[in-house]
Amino acid sequence: GAVVSQHPSRVICKSGTSVKIECRSLDFQATTMFWYRQFPKQSLMLMATSNEGSKATYEQGVEKDKFLINHASLTLSTLTVTSAHPEDSSFYICSARDSSRGPGGYTFGSGTRLTVV
Amino acid sequence: AQSVTQLDSQVPVFEEAPVELRCNYSSSVSVYLFWYVQYPNQGLQLLLKYLSGSTLVKGINGFEAEFNKSQTSFHLRKPSVHISDTAEYFCAVTRLDNAGNMLTFGGGTRLMVKP
């Protein structure tokens, strides 16, 4: 089945530094990538949607200059948290969709727990 | 816009008992419906989905769900739960008129199976 590899699974960084999270679709082409943020014991909140080769579309309230999304190929998308602060600490999850698989073809990465100290 | 309501934030149940996790949605257009399971510090795994056809959908791990259009519900059921079913469960929808749209999630239900 479709697999999305997300790395790193855990990262601790100092306040003010940047962190990059990668999501790779291993056996399919991710025409669309979704990035979510999840706070403890809460649901997933969509941060942005990106289509391969296009600029990402950010949800209201999400700072595009802080959360940089790159989707340069059909198998790789990255989320870079720039100048991280403790309030950016969260669980980040990517989800890739292959449009050729018809409706409902969403595959999730295993998530990245970011802790900013 | 769509919205999804999971009526129970936590559902405690004893092992081998039946369980129902409730999900109601609101949408101005027709939607596809999904149930996902999340284990601690992991991503989401698809349990089942309703796209069209029979309103009773069977998924993995013995789960099933029934789509009720008149009640705008998509409740998840399992006749006999196991300890290993302890996890967070999310109901989600996406618009039928543009299947490339993002998923809208409910708030989640924590299923706690006790021995």
Binary contact (B108, A42; C-beta < 8 A): yes
Q: What is the mean pLDDT of residues B26-43?
A: 91
pLDDT level of residue B102 (50, 70, 90 thresholds): confident
Q: Is the model's pLDDT at B41 over the cut of 90?
A: no
Binary contact (B99, A104; C-beta < 8 A): yes
pLDDT: which is higher, A79 or B43: A79
Q: Is the model's pLDDT at B99 over the cut of 60?
A: no
pLDDT over 90, % of chain B: 79
Closest CB to B102: pick one of A4, A49, A111.
A49
List the beta bridge partners of residue A93. Answer: A36
Interface of B with A in 2-41 (CB under 8 A): 32, 34, 36, 41
Which chain B residues are Cβ-neighbours of A8 within 8 angstroms?
none
Q: What is the pLDDT of residue A42?
A: 87
Would you mind telling me the total number of residues written for chain A in this entry?
117
Which chain B residues are Cβ-neighbours of A31 within 8 angstroms?
100
Q: What does the alpha-carbon distance between residue B41 and residue B60 come to, in Å, rounded to a whole number?
A: 20
Tens-place pLDDT, residues B51-97: 989 999 999 999 999 999 999 999 999 999 999 999 999 999 998 77
**Are the beta carbons of A11 and A116 closer than 8 angstroms?**
no
B96 touches chain A (CB under 8 A): yes
Best of B31, B44, B60, B97 to disrupt the A interface (most A CBs within 10 Å) is B44
- Ramachandran region of residue A104, left (φ > 0), alpha (ψ -120 to 50) or beta? left
Mean per-residue pLDDT of chain B: 93
pLDDT: which is higher, B104 or A98: B104
Residue carrying structure tokens 């809208």: B104
Q: What is the pLDDT of residue B98?
A: 63
Q: What is the pLDDT of residue A49?
A: 92
**Are the beta carbons of B101 and A46 closer than 8 angstroms?**
no
Q: What is the pLDDT of residue A2?
A: 84
Please name which of A115, A45, A61, A64 lies closest in space to residue A87, comparing C-alpha atoms: A115
Q: What is the pLDDT of residue A54?
A: 83
Using the 8-state DSSP alphabet, how is residue B8 labeled? -
Q: Which ranges of chain A have pLDDT less than 70?
A: none
Q: What is the pLDDT of residue A72?
A: 81
**Are the beta carbons of A103 and A1 closer than 8 angstroms?**
no
List the beta bridge partners of residue B53. Answer: none
Q: What is the pLDDT of residue A88?
A: 96
Q: What is the pLDDT of residue B60?
A: 95
Q: What is the pLDDT of residue A55?
A: 86
Which chain A residues are Cβ-neighbours of B103 within 8 angstroms?
34, 46, 95, 106
Query: How many contacts, defined by CB atoms under 8 Å, are there between A and B?
Result: 56
Cα distance from A17 to chain B (closest Cα, Å)? 23
Closest CB to B41: pick one of A41, A99, A111.
A111
Q: What does the alpha-carbon distance between residue B12 and residue B63 come to, in Å, rounded to a whole number?
A: 17
pLDDT level of residue B100 (50, 70, 90 thresholds): low
